Structure 1
C-alpha cells in the first residue's frame, strides 16, 4: 500500500493568471456537521469541504447514530437528533489528523450519558489536549488523557456545570470546546479571551438559533436550549486561498481572482499582513453567507518588503503563518515573527519545520522560542524538504519552489488532503506544475 506522497516542483516561467475557487472552509465545515447533527430537523449544507479532517468529524457523528446523506457535489443533508439524541458508538472514534475534531468533540462528549474514547493518528497523538481537559474537568467532566496530556482521550459522560474561564492562550478550539460543553451545562458558561480568535462557533450557534452573547472579549451562553435546523452555505477557505495569494504576489506579472472566499474579520490576518508587506490585494463583490462575510479576492504581483509582523495579527493568521514566511523569504529585508509559540504544537513544530526547510534551500533565518526571523533573498536554491507530515508546510514549500533556482522535492505530502484535496489539480490549472510521486 502506498502511504507516502512526494511533490516535485520547478520554478515557474510564466506569470500566474486566472480565476479559481478553492474548497470550502474547513473550520465552518466541522461546525456545520456538529451543530446540524445536534439540531432538531433537517440541515442542508452546501460547499462542504471533502477533506480528511472534516470527513473525520462527519464519520464520528454517523457512528453516533446521526443520519447524514452525502457528501455529494459538496452537499450534505443531515437529519438532526437533538442535543440529547446521540447514541453510544460501538467503537473508538478515530479522528485521523484532525485536532479540531478531537478538541470540539471532547467538549460535546463530556456532556453525554455514555462512555467514549477518541483517538487519532501519530501526528494528532502528539498534540496537547490538557488545554481542553483541564477546563472541562472544572465543569465536572470525567476526562482522562494519555501521557503528558496527549491523546487518546477517555470520557465518561457526566452532568456539567457552567464556569467562568479566562483563556490562558488564544485558541479558537479551546473556546469552542467549552462553549459546546456549555450547551450541556447547568447555568452560564462564560469565556474571557486575552486575544481575538476565530469566531465561527459563535456565528454558527446563532445560525442554529442558540442564544449566545458576545461583548468585546467575553462570550457567554446558558446551557439546556435546543438548536433548530437551518441551511448552511460554506464559503471558500481563506487558509487555502492564502497559498495562491502569496504565489501571485511573488511571481512577476501575475494576477489571480479567488472566488467567494470567507473574509471573517477573525481570519483575515493573512490579508492584513500581506498588505503591510506591500501586496496588491483588493476585496470585490462583498456579501454575506449565513452570518459569514464573503468576497472575491483579486491579487496582483508587486514587490514585497520585510516587516515586523504585528503581534495582534498573529492569532488572526495562525494557520497562514507558514505561507506568510514564504512571502517573507521573497521580500526585501528582514521579516520578524514573534508571539507565535502556538505554531510549535500544530501538526508539526511549524517554526522548526519551516526553519529547516529554509536552511535547506539557502534562505537565512534565525529561530526564537515564539517565532523566527526570515532574511529575504532574490535567489534561493532547490533542495529536499521534509514536511514532517504537515500539510501546510508541504503546500508552503510548493509555493516557495516557484522562485527557486532548481527543483524542490517535498516529502511526506499525503496529509495535504486533510484540508485541500484538490491542491495539485487546482495548482496545475493555473500553471503551477506539481509532479506527484506515490511511494
Structure 2
C-alpha cells in the first residue's frame, strides 16, 4: 500500500494550554471490541470507538470475513457477528495500512479457521517483524508464508481443528499473547499463555466479558492465562474509554508549557497501561485524578494537569510493559527536566512503527537536545525548564507517536520546528492538532 503524499507541519512555541478536552477511544480496546463482536452470535453495540485509520482497517477486515458492521450518525457502531468458527474466506487481501495490532491479532483469528488470507500493509508496517507471532501460531497448526525476514505481505492458511498449546512468551508482548488467545477461541481443548512479565490485559478482560471460559493465575512461572476453546461468545454493549496513550501527549504538553492547566476527561487507567502517568509523577508532574469510576470493566478517571517543574529520574524498567508506546513523549518530558534522565529496559521500542530509540535520538538532536543511546533506551540531558533550541526539521518515519511527540516538544522550543509528515497521526488520533488548537484558543479567549 503506497503512503499518501507527505503532510509537513511547522509548529511554533505555545502559550499556556487551558480548558477541558476528551481524547479518542482507546485503540487497543477498539480493535478487540470489533474482533470479539464479530465472533459473537448476535449484535453488539460499541460506543466511543476510535475512528482512526488503524481501527478502521480492523473493521474493514472483519467485514471481508463476514461480519456486518455499521455506524450510526451519532457515532455508535453495531456489529452483527458470525460466531466463533464462522469467519468466511476473504475475497481479496486484507489491507492493514500501518496497524501492527490489526495484523498480529487477525493472524491469530485466522489461524484456527479453515480459511486462507493474505495480509498486506504500508511501507512502515511491512518493515516490522512478525516472526514472534508466526512461531506460536505455527505450533497450533497454521501454515504461514511470510516475506523475507518474517514480514508482510504474508499468507495465513488456518488449521481447523487447530492444536491447543501452552506457550511461554519469550518477550513481553500483549499482541503475541492476544493472537494466541484469539486462535484458542476456535481450538478444542485448553490454550495457555504464560507471561513472565505482565502486559496489558484488555484481551483477558474483554474475552471474559463476552463469556469466554478464561482463567488467570499467578504462578512461580509468571501470569498464566488459560482459555477453553470452541467458545460461544455473547454480544455485548461496549463503552470504550479514552485512550491513555493519546492522553499522554496532552498531559506532557500541559506539564511542560508554563501556565498550563487542563482537564482531560474519561481517560482509561488500566494499571497495565498507566505507567506513563506513574513515571511523570516520579518526575514531579502535577496530575490529579478526578471522578474515578469503572466503564466497561475498565478503570477510568478525569485527569487535571497543571504545569510543574520536572526533575530527572532513572525510569523504573519494570514500568516498560505498561508504557511502551509512551516512551517517545516521556523522552520529551525528560528533555525539559532538570538533570539527566535514564530510561532502560525498553528493547521493544526497536521494533515499533519505527525504531523509536534511533528515531527519537535523531529528532531530539535536531532540536538541540543531548542524548545518549543504549540498545534498550536513552539517557536525556534536560534543559531545566528553559526553552529548547528548536529550529530543526524532524523525520516522523511514518510513525504517529514520533510525530505527536515532537509536536509537543515544539511547543516549548525557541525556534519553530517542522515535522516532515504528520499524516500518520491519523492512524490513532485524527483530531490531535485540532485538540491542541482548542486548548490554545481557550487561553486566548480567557485573556481577551
TM over 0.5: yes
Q: Distance in 1 between matches of 2:366 and 2:253?
A: 20
8 Å CA contact 1:381–1:405 kept in 2: the answer is: yes
Confirm or deny that 1:279 pairs with 2:285. Answer: yes
| Counterparts in 2 of 1:196 and 1:296: CA distance versus 1, 3 Å | same
Which secondary structure does the structure 2 equivalent of 1:319 belong to? helix
Relative to structure 2, which stretch is displaced further, 157-166 or 39-48? 157-166
Task: Give 1:388's aligned residue.
Answer: 397
Instruction: Give the drift of 1:2.
Output: 6.1
| Counterparts in 2 of 1:207 and 1:72: CA distance versus 1, 3 Å | farther
Which secondary structure does the structure 2 equivalent of 1:186 belong to? coil
Instruction: Give the drift of 1:282.
Output: 1.1
Q: Distance in 1 between matches of 2:43 and 2:360?
A: 44
8 Å CA contact 2:85–2:113 kept in 1: the answer is: yes
| Counterparts in 2 of 1:71 and 1:347: CA distance versus 1, 3 Å | farther
Q: Distance in 2 between matches of 1:324 and 1:432?
A: 25
8 Å CA contact 1:384–1:408 kept in 2: the answer is: yes
Confirm or deny that 1:259 pairs with 2:265. Answer: yes
Task: Give 2:446's aligned residue.
Answer: none
Instruction: Show structure 2 runs of 5+ residues with no match.
Output: 443-448
Task: Give 1:429's aligned residue.
Answer: 438
Instruction: Give the drift of 1:379.
Output: 3.7
8 Å CA contact 1:111–1:160 kept in 2: the answer is: yes
Instruction: Show structure 1 runs of 5+ residues with no match.
Output: 434-439
Alpha-carbon RMSD across the aligned residues, in angstroms, is 1.3
Instruction: Give the drift of 1:380.
Output: 2.2
Question: Deviations for 1:62-86, whole angstroms, at most 9, x for unmatched residues?
Answer: 1112111116433200111101222
- Among 189, 193, 196, the residue aligned to 1:194: 196
8 Å CA contact 2:104–2:179 kept in 1: the answer is: yes
Which secondary structure does the structure 1 equivalent of 2:314 belong to? coil
Aligned residues: 432
| Counterparts in 2 of 1:225 and 1:2: CA distance versus 1, 3 Å | closer
8 Å CA contact 1:50–1:71 kept in 2: the answer is: no
- TM-score of the pair, normalised by structure 1: 0.97
8 Å CA contact 2:212–2:228 kept in 1: the answer is: no
8 Å CA contact 1:28–1:200 kept in 2: the answer is: yes
Task: Give 2:97's aligned residue.
Answer: 96
Relative to structure 2, which stretch is displaced further, 153-162 or 1-10? 1-10
- Among 12, 28, 34, the residue aligned to 1:10: 12
| Counterparts in 2 of 1:321 and 1:424: CA distance versus 1, 3 Å | same
Task: Give 2:156's aligned residue.
Answer: 155
Confirm or deny that 1:412 pairs with 2:412. Answer: no
- TM-score of the pair, normalised by structure 2: 0.95
Q: Distance in 1 between matches of 2:74 and 2:142?
A: 39
Instruction: Give the drift of 1:432.
Output: 7.8
Question: Deviations for 1:93-134, whole angstroms, at most 9, x for unmatched residues?
Answer: 111000000000001101111211111111111101010000
